[in-house]
Structures are given as C-alpha cells and as structure tokens.
Chains A and B, each alone.
Chain A
Amino acid sequence: MEWEIVIGIETHVQLSTESKIFSGASTDFGAMPNAHACEVDLALPGVLPVLNKDAVEKAIRFGVATQATINQRSIFARKNYFYPDLPKGYQISQMEIPVVEGGTIKFHVAESEKTVNLTRAHLEEDAGKSLHEDFIDMSGIDLNRAGTPLLEIVSEPEMRSSDEAVEYAKTLHSLVRWIGICDGNMQEGNFRCDANVSVRRKGDKTLGTRREIKNLNSFKFLQQAIEYEARWQIEQIEDGLAIVQATVLFDPDSGETRLMRTKEDAHDYRYFPDPDLLPLVIDDDWLKTTRASLPELPKSKARRYQDDLELSGPDVASLVSSLEAATYFEATLNHFDVSGIKPAAKSIANWMNGELTASLNRSQKDFSQCPIAPETLSVLIKRVLDNTLSTKLARLVFEELWSGDSTVDDIILKKGFKQMSDSGEIESFVSQVIEQHPQQVADFKAGKEKALNSLVGQVMKLTKGKANPTQVNEILKSKLS
C-alpha cells in the first residue's frame, strides 16, 4: 500500500519591531522577568491597546514579497481563553479579515521547483511565559514576551514530504530575514512552526484526519516530528484504527509526538471584533511606499545570477540564501569591469562559499560583519586572475587578511608571495626536477599521463608554490616531448 503524507504549516514569525504590537514596552529579549511589561501588557483594569504601525508595515512587506493580496481594511478580533500567561484573558488576533491573504512560496526539492500556496498571514500578539522552575508549589509568570508582535503565516496543505516541509520552512525563514521583518532567531523562539499532518492512500481525493504538531523551533525537529507522526498515523490506520483530530507535542528527547488535547476538549474561542481597535486601514500611499522600499527578492536575484553571470545552481542558491550574502556578493562584483564579469562572479562565489563562509561560521558572523571588505576581496581575486598569485598563495594572503588589517598588495610584497611567471626562471626549476626524477619522466614518456602531475607538484614544491602551475605544465610538456 502506498501512502501519501499531506502537510500544511502554520508559522509564527516574531516581527522585529522596537516596541510591542499594542503597547510602548520594549521587545528586547532576555531582560529580568516582567521588566518589559507595562500597564497595558499587565492588562491592568482600564488600559487600552494602540496598534504599532511598524508591525503593520512588516506584514505589508511580507504580503508584497509573496505576491499576496493586502487587505486594505482588516479587522482585529479577540480570541478568548483563560491561561495565566494570557493577561487579558483574550489574545488580540485577526480572524475573518486578515491583513494578508494568498501568496506563494517557491523552493527547490531534489532539483525540481515546488510552489506552495499561502492561505493567509495575520497579525497578532504573543502570550507571556509560565516559569515552573525556581518555584515550589507555584508558577511564575513572565510577561516580557506578552504583546510581542507576531505574523502568523498559514500555508495550504500542499507539502507531501518532510523534505518539502523543511525546504518550505527554510525558504520562509530566509525570506522573512531577507525583507527585514524578523531576525529569524529560532533559539529565542522568533520563528516557530506548527505542522498539520495527515496521511491518505495515494490517489485518494479527500484529506485524511489531521493532527497538529505544535511549536517546532528547529528544522531538524520539524523533519523528525513529521516523519514520526506520519509513520505513527500510517501504523494506526494499518492496524484498523482511526485517526482522531488532535493537537500533539513533539518530544525531541524521545523523538516522538504525544497527545496534548483532542478536538472534543478544544476551546470555543468566541472570536469577535475587538471594540477597542478600529478597523486597520492601509491606504494606497502606504502600500506604494512599502512596495518601493522592499529589496530585490532572492528569486529575482537568483535569476539574474544564473542568466547574466552564468553561475551554477548551487552557487546561486548559497549566494541568495541571505540578503547579507547577496549584498556582499554584489558589492564585490561592483569592483570588476563588465568585460571580465563572468569569471569574476565565479571566483567571488568560490571564495564566498568556501573560505569566507567557513571563516565566518567559525567566528559566528554573517556577511554584513565580514572583516574582509568586498573591495579587498575583489583585489585578491584580481591578483589571481592576473596571475600575480596562485590559488594556493591567495589562500595564504586570505588568512593574513582575515587576521590583520593589511592590504592584499602589502601582504604579497611583505611575504614575497608574488607568483613566478618569468618562464626562464621556471625553466631552470623544471630542468632540475626532470633531472632528479628519472622514473616519473620515464613513466610519462611510456604514456602514463598521471606522472606529469607528480612532476608539476615537484616543481611547485621547489618554488614554494610561487610558480604558475599552468606555465609549469606547459614547460614540462614541451621539455619532455
């Protein structure tokens, strides 16, 4: 029996605003409990919410970036339920008319492009936190997070594997950072996914009963949770049992999902329009200004890099993986003439995806904090392209640049890294090598092409890497023929 897994994802994206969505309190993470909870966040008697425009701005940015419909009139509603970390006894959210409707997210899985449609994205406030440690027979309540702005992004149930779900989530994660609406910090819970999972027999038209896995805050957990849940559901059905609609939690230690509540004990949230807030109206000017302020999106950049610069798929994918990387790439590329732009682009991509990424990862920095300026990298690449440096020497220069503030040319001068391109000088080293390695010479002459590589290597060793390997190759060949 072939099974099909059906996945829809709801993502809570914390919007990176200075203050909360309905109060003036700070959204900074990590303060003393309740230090960032003002009278509105504490839901004191008589307080009222006032909408933070920046949260709306960020929701619009998301809508524009996903080609969604921005509702120019949307409504805030109250979602009523009791919980100690929900100070008002209701959460202000959007129900009937969300700020963003529709839109798509496109990504690649196993070389083929997949498009997932979005249902909606709506603004809402986050709840606080219950603290169970450090209290005996009691719980503490920290309302610092209460009122933090969230954009809840809901996808259609269009993913068919955990791989697709993870790629969707990664693409979304990269996009919200790209357009500057979320810092994407998953450890701090600023990007959390709920996965709705159901299974059905391949070919079935109707959807199976779904279970919702709550609060997955890493891509790894998302993958593990979906895989476990789908396997579990298939086993249940194969054992003749029915799936009951439910909300479940994923336990990363056991790798299993466990029941939180079934539909029967689900809340009746009694949504109704919040009478304290007027309908959210977004006029044409606001839309226009926001549209104009959006950076070029990754998809469009990727197309340009592929078509105009002839970069490979994997190269492009990593260059557009973050706005910081793409910005660094383009800033470096700007230092090259149009005539030599393609090899330069390839070379920049190689550096960025190789040494630079590795070094940045080691020091936990992103491209916007890179100690080597784009212009410096461009000089380094130019010295390779004009044969001043071999690739090997260039790496040594790179290491010097990373640890110091000297320029490329100073380092070359100081360390005597200049590549040997005087053919007379190289020839004398070549002769020396031929003399010292008769066996390899004989092998080569007998038709063993590989022996030549060994001889080139010997010349490079003798010149401490300064000889131009292409030149060495040519001279060797002509001497041995």
Chain B
Amino acid sequence: MFGKTVKELGDALRRKDFSSTELTTAYLERSKTLNKEVNAFITFDEEQTLAQAKLADEILSTDDATALTGIPIAHKDIWCAKDWITTCGSRMLENFRSPYDAHIIKRFKECGAVTLGKTNMDEFAMGSSNETSWFGNVKNPWDLGRVPGGSSGGSAAAVAADMTPASTGTDTGGSIRQPAALCGISGLKPTYGLVSRYGMIAFASSLDQGGPMAKSAEDLAILLEAMVSFDDKDSTSLEKPTVHYSSMINKSVKGLRIGIPKEYFSDEIAPDIQNGVQDALKEYEKLGARLVDINLPTSPLSVAAYYVIAPAEASSNLSRFDGVRYGYRAPNYSDLNDMYAKTRAQGFGAEVKRRILIGTYVLSHGYYDAYYLKAQKVRRLISQDFAHAFKTCDMIMSPTTPSTAFKIGEKVSDPVQMYLSDTFTIAANLAGLPAMSIPCGLDRNQLPIGLQLIGNYFDEAGMIAAAHQYQCATDWHLKKPPLHNV
C-alpha cells in the first residue's frame, strides 16, 4: 500500500484492493514508528481517525465516493479540527481542543478524506526550519541531521517519508514551498483568497494562504479541488467558478513563455541549485516552452517589507492568546498585568516573541509611517513588477530556495540568515500570486533541490499542468529519501 500517490490509492480503494480502514491502519502504524525519528506529527488520535476510515468505507461501498474518499491526509496543526487538539506548534495551545472545524477541514470531511493526524510546525508558523516548535524540531527524512524547512516542515517531512499519502500546509512567506523544496516533494500556495482562512490560526492575515503538499503535481490537483471553495465566513474569500484542476493536467507546455527573473539567479545561490534549476529549464525548452528574460527589480526588497508587514499583523493576531479564555495560563501571578506578562512570556517561544516585539514596534505611534506604511508601498511596487512581467511571460520559474536543507542548529542563532532562506518565496505572498515548488534534482549531498513556479492570479491549473508535464518527463519527484525503506 505504501509508496503510492493519492491518485493511485484512490483508484485502489474504489477497486476494493483494500479498504480505507486497512490503508489508514497501515499508515497509522508506519507513521507512529517513523515519528520517533522524524517527529513530523504532534498529534495522533487513532479513535477519531479510524472512525472516519470506517465511515469512508461505507461511502466507498456506494457510488458517492470521490477521489479523496478513504485517503488518509495529515493536516498541519494550524488548522482547527473539531475535537482535535490543535496546538499551532505552541505551548500556548498545548491543550487546546478545538470546538469547531476549519472550512477546509469541513471540505475534506465532505470529500470523505480521513484525518491521519496533525503535523508539527514552527510555532504559530513563524520559522523556516521547524526548530521553533514547542514540540521539538522535525528532522529531514533525507538526512536526520538536517532541517525539513518550515513552517510546514512536519507536513513536508511526513509526505517525504511516506508517513502520509499527502498533507495540507499553509504559506505566509514560503511555508509550503520552502519545506517542499527541502524535503523533495510538491507543494502549492494558491492565489490569496482562493482557500478559506476560516479556522486557520492566523499569523499574518494578508499573506496567509493554505495549500496542498503531495508526492506529485497530479495529487496537488486532487487536493486543491477539495480545498478551493468560497466561504462566506472569510471576508477575503473569493467567489470563483469551480475549476477541475485534475482534468486539466495534460495541457501541453508548448509555446509557454517562462519568465526568468535575473534577480533570482544571483551568485549567492548554491552552484548545485543553479545547475539543477538550469537543467529543469532546459527540460521545459525540450517540452516546447520558451524562456524569456524578465526583471523583478523590487523583489530584493521583499524580505525587508515582509518582516515589517508580517510581524505587524502577527503582533495583533496573537493578542488573543492572553490566558483569559483558553490555552495556557501561567500558574502563579500577582495581578492582571502580571498574569498577561507571565502567560505570554511562558506560553510563547523566542521567535514568536521576537516577531511580536518587531510588530508592536513598527505599529507604534511615530514609527508607523516609516515602517508599516513604507512596507505597504514596497508591497504595491512588488505587485506592479509582477503585473509588468506577466505582460511578456505566462509563468515565472526560479529556484525555490538559495540552499538545500541546512543542518539543525545552523541558523537558529542568526535570524537574518534564517529569514533569507525565504528570499525567493516571499514576493509571491506579498503580491498574492499562486506559486509552487516541485523537486528538480539532488545536490552533491543527495539533498533535494526545488524548482519554483509562480503563476499569474488564478492560474493554478496552468501551473499544475506545467508541473505535471515536467513530472511526466522526469523522475525527480519519485526519488525517495533513505528513510523511506524503513
């Protein structure tokens, strides 16, 4: 049963090769065993998981089964799921059991998918290495001494180690694409507003977007069909006609104009990544695409703008974690202010506190114009750059990250170096554009290299098709980490 894609498993389930209960039980066992080494999951809840599998088996015996019915899916622990402990990787929510379902969790339930467990993540999605989680860092299945990337590191590592057929993640500045690249899997961040944020614990509301993580582009299409749906509980949710992504994956890339931004191909990028990405671009040319040089002149400012806007929103979004109504409360305190101070000092980790401080600072009286407003102006310029670029190309390609998976502990003491690992991914969030990462090679240490695709607004179908064409022609997405043989 292992090693298969969602597509293959779905076909097998409907063929009755095995039941969802069998599949789910097998994955639960494998996941639990591997989790001792990888630490990709924070929570398993066998009882709820198997109850869902049983329900799925009933649906599978009817004609109502969908492509996802009976498939175990791991959800990033940022999504509220009814009756599940939902921690967001934080001590603050260590014991928080959500009384409601996020919109996408509801959608997966409607499709008959089974929640396999909740995956580890950087605390409140703040981090690029999964080292800020209160529940310990996740290890990269390709090299257990290295990070899986973040913040959706648990979701990425779980797919890479085949601890789950597929998973969900969220991407605020690269949190789906960067770990997908570092773990050698496929991940997609949709256009802002396409996937409801209701029930996703907010980090930076104007940038946060949920998306699928899987073994192939085809699987991303299947998952995305479940995740994209208008939600009247999210004011930023967009009402769009339904797109059948999985029926559009065979679209050829012949004549596709691929924009190559020179700002994303600097000398700071590891040579193996340069080579891997260049090989992928050559492959696209072979498939009939055309490479076009483009400029994204303001994109070097994206990290700076992001680290003003995201912390500003986060500082406000995280105010609700005050120890009053739910979550962690410090055991001893003298008065209300002391309760707030101790609760938040003990409940949040260092990186979260750092970002709350930055955010509070940039929104403060006297600094707002110089930081927050200026960053918003940069954000608009970045969007304009992309709009301009899309006049001469249909899709943009670049490396997903400047380096492959780095060693655990390597960057924890240098937040700026850590922040720079998202240098190529952040601009798409600032502009609200869809973007994805697919595997395109292995470096000299046998670590995966990611190719980033940035599409125009709502061109998820085009991107997935382009990725699928590449995956039909190459086998990088089929490479397995050594751990896979456990």
Chain A residues proximal to chain B, CB less than 8 Å: 39, 42-51, 78, 80, 82, 84, 87-90, 141, 268, 270-272, 275-278
Inter-chain CA distance A82–B202, complex, in Å, is: 18
Inter-chain CA distance A78–B317, complex, in Å, is: 10
Q: Top 10 nearest A-B pairs by Cβ distance?
A: A89-B319, A275-B206, A270-B363, A275-B205, A46-B199, A45-B201, A43-B320, A46-B80, A46-B201, A268-B365
Say yes or no: A89-B100 contact (C-beta < 8 A), given A50-B233, A268-B365.
no
Residue of A45, A51, A84, A90 with most chain B CB atoms under a 10 A cut-off: A45
Residue of B80, B321, B325, B368 with most chain A CB atoms under a 10 A cut-off: B325
Inter-chain CA distance A191–B319, complex, in Å, is: 29
Inter-chain CA distance A43–B322, complex, in Å, is: 11
Q: A46-B202, A89-B320, A275-B236 are in contact. List 6 more A-B contacts (CB 8 A).
A: A39-B99, A44-B80, A46-B80, A50-B234, A80-B315, A276-B235
- Which residue of chain B lies nearest to A276 when distances are taken between CB atoms in the complex? B205
Q: Chain B residues with Cβ under 8 A from A272's Cβ?
A: 312, 316, 363, 368, 372
Say yes or no: A87-B363 contact (C-beta < 8 A), given A141-B325, A272-B312, A272-B372.
no
Q: Chain B residues with Cβ under 8 A from A277's Cβ?
A: 235
B235 pairs with A80, CB closer than 8 A: no
B325 pairs with A270, CB closer than 8 A: no
Can you pick out 25 interface pairs between chain A and chain B where the beta carbons lie within 8 Å of each other? Answer: A45-B98, A45-B202, A45-B321, A46-B80, A46-B98, A46-B102, A46-B198, A48-B235, A50-B234, A78-B316, A82-B319, A82-B322, A84-B324, A89-B319, A90-B316, A270-B363, A270-B365, A271-B363, A272-B312, A272-B372, A275-B204, A275-B205, A275-B206, A275-B313, A278-B235
Interface residues of B in 186-221 (CB under 8 A from A): 197-202, 204-206
Say yes or no: is B326 at the interface (Cβ < 8 Å to chain A): yes
Q: How far is the CB of B284 from chain A (nearest CB, A)?
A: 36
- Taking a contact as CB atoms closer than 8 A, the residue among A44, A48, A51 that contacts B100 in the complex is A44
Q: Chain A residues with Cβ under 8 A from B321's Cβ?
A: 45
Inter-chain CA distance A271–B200, complex, in Å, is: 23
Say yes or no: is B232 at the interface (Cβ < 8 Å to chain A): yes
Q: Chain A residues with Cβ under 8 A from B250's Cβ?
A: none
Inter-chain CA distance A50–B197, complex, in Å, is: 12
Inter-chain CA distance A276–B199, complex, in Å, is: 13
Say yes or no: A43-B99 contact (C-beta < 8 A), given A272-B312, A272-B372.
no
Say yes or no: is B456 at the interface (Cβ < 8 Å to chain A): no
Q: Chain A residues with Cβ under 8 A from B324's Cβ?
A: 84, 87, 141
A51 pairs with B312, CB closer than 8 A: no
- Which residue of chain B lies nearest to A78 when distances are taken between CB atoms in the complex? B316
B233 pairs with A48, CB closer than 8 A: yes
Say yes or no: A45-B235 contact (C-beta < 8 A), given A82-B319, A90-B319.
no
Q: How far is the CB of B316 from chain A (nearest CB, A)?
A: 5
Inter-chain CA distance A84–B200, complex, in Å, is: 23
Inter-chain CA distance A276–B313, complex, in Å, is: 10
Say yes or no: is B360 at the interface (Cβ < 8 Å to chain A): yes
Say yes or no: is B88 at the interface (Cβ < 8 Å to chain A): yes
Q: How far is the CB of A75 from chain B (nearest CB, A)?
A: 13
Q: Chain A residues with Cβ under 8 A from B363's Cβ?
A: 80, 270-272
A84 pairs with B199, CB closer than 8 A: no
Inter-chain CA distance A39–B102, complex, in Å, is: 12
Q: Main secondary structure on chain B at its contact with chain A?
A: loop
A89 pairs with B322, CB closer than 8 A: yes
Q: How far is the CB of A399 from chain B (nearest CB, A)?
A: 56
Inter-chain CA distance A46–B322, complex, in Å, is: 15
Inter-chain CA distance A44–B316, complex, in Å, is: 14
Say yes or no: A39-B100 contact (C-beta < 8 A), given A78-B316, A84-B324.
yes
Q: How far is the CB of A277 from chain B (nearest CB, A)?
A: 5
B360 pairs with A270, CB closer than 8 A: yes
Interface residues of B in 110-168 (CB under 8 A from A): none
Say yes or no: is B86 at the interface (Cβ < 8 Å to chain A): yes
Say yes or no: A50-B320 contact (C-beta < 8 A), given A44-B99, A44-B326, A84-B336.
no
Say yes or no: is B476 at the interface (Cβ < 8 Å to chain A): no
Q: Mark B14-51, 1 if CB is under 8 A from A, else 0.
A: 00000000000000000000000000000000000000
Say yes or no: is B340 at the interface (Cβ < 8 Å to chain A): yes
Q: Mark B314-346, 1 if CB is under 8 A from A, else 0.
A: 011011111011100000000010001000000
A45 pairs with B316, CB closer than 8 A: no
Q: Chain B residues with Cβ under 8 A from A275's Cβ?
A: 204-206, 236, 313
- Which residue of chain A lies nearest to B337 when distances are taken between CB atoms in the complex? A82
Q: Chain A residues with Cβ under 8 A from B319's Cβ?
A: 80, 82, 88-90
A48 pairs with B197, CB closer than 8 A: yes
- Taking a contact as CB atoms closer than 8 A, the residue among A48, A88, A271 that contacts B320 in the complex is A88
Q: How far is the CB of A322 from chain B (nearest CB, A)?
A: 37
Inter-chain CA distance A47–B197, complex, in Å, is: 8
Q: How far is the CB of B453 from chain A (nearest CB, A)?
A: 26
Q: How far is the CB of A380 from chain B (nearest CB, A)?
A: 54
B316 pairs with A89, CB closer than 8 A: yes
B325 pairs with A43, CB closer than 8 A: yes
Q: Mark B227-243, 1 if CB is under 8 A from A, else 0.
A: 00000111110000000
- Taking a contact as CB atoms closer than 8 A, the residue among A45, A78, A87, A141 that contacts B86 in the complex is A45
- Taking a contact as CB atoms closer than 8 A, the residue among A51, A82, A88 that contacts B340 in the complex is A82
Q: Chain B residues with Cβ under 8 A from A50's Cβ?
A: 232-235
Q: Chain B residues with Cβ under 8 A from A48's Cβ?
A: 197-198, 233-235
Say yes or no: is B428 at the interface (Cβ < 8 Å to chain A): no
Q: Chain A residues with Cβ under 8 A from B100's Cβ?
A: 39, 44
- Which residue of chain A lies nearest to B204 when distances are taken between CB atoms in the complex? A275
Say yes or no: is B93 at the interface (Cβ < 8 Å to chain A): yes
Q: Mark B33-77, 1 if CB is under 8 A from A, else 0.
A: 000000000000000000000000000000000000000000000
Interface residues of B in 223-273 (CB under 8 A from A): 232-236
Q: Mark B356-382, 1 if CB is under 8 A from A, else 0.
A: 000010011100100010000000000
- Which residue of chain B lies nearest to A269 when distances are taken between CB atoms in the complex? B365
Say yes or no: A45-B93 contact (C-beta < 8 A), given A82-B319, A82-B322, A84-B324.
yes
A270 pairs with B316, CB closer than 8 A: yes
Q: Chain A residues with Cβ under 8 A from B79's Cβ?
A: 46
Say yes or no: is B96 at the interface (Cβ < 8 Å to chain A): yes
Inter-chain CA distance A47–B320, complex, in Å, is: 11
Q: Chain A residues with Cβ under 8 A from B312's Cβ?
A: 272
Q: Chain A residues with Cβ under 8 A from B233's Cβ?
A: 48, 50
Q: Chain A residues with Cβ under 8 A from B206's Cβ?
A: 275
- Which residue of chain B lies nearest to A51 when distances are taken between CB atoms in the complex? B235
Q: Chain A residues with Cβ under 8 A from B201's Cβ?
A: 45-46
- Which residue of chain B lies nearest to A268 when distances are taken between CB atoms in the complex? B365
Inter-chain CA distance A90–B98, complex, in Å, is: 22
A45 pairs with B325, CB closer than 8 A: no
Inter-chain CA distance A84–B339, complex, in Å, is: 11
Residue of B100, B206, B233, B235 with most chain A CB atoms under a 10 A cut-off: B235
Q: Chain A residues with Cβ under 8 A from B99's Cβ?
A: 39, 44
Q: Chain B residues with Cβ under 8 A from A39's Cβ?
A: 99-100
Q: Chain A residues with Cβ under 8 A from B325's Cβ?
A: 42-43, 87, 141
Q: Chain B residues with Cβ under 8 A from A87's Cβ?
A: 320, 324-325
- Which residue of chain B lies nearest to A82 when distances are taken between CB atoms in the complex? B340
Inter-chain CA distance A271–B322, complex, in Å, is: 19
Inter-chain CA distance A177–B154, complex, in Å, is: 56
Residue of A44, A49, A271, A278 with most chain B CB atoms under a 10 A cut-off: A44
Inter-chain CA distance A78–B205, complex, in Å, is: 13
Q: How far is the CB of B357 from chain A (nearest CB, A)?
A: 13
Q: How far is the CB of A212 from chain B (nearest CB, A)?
A: 18
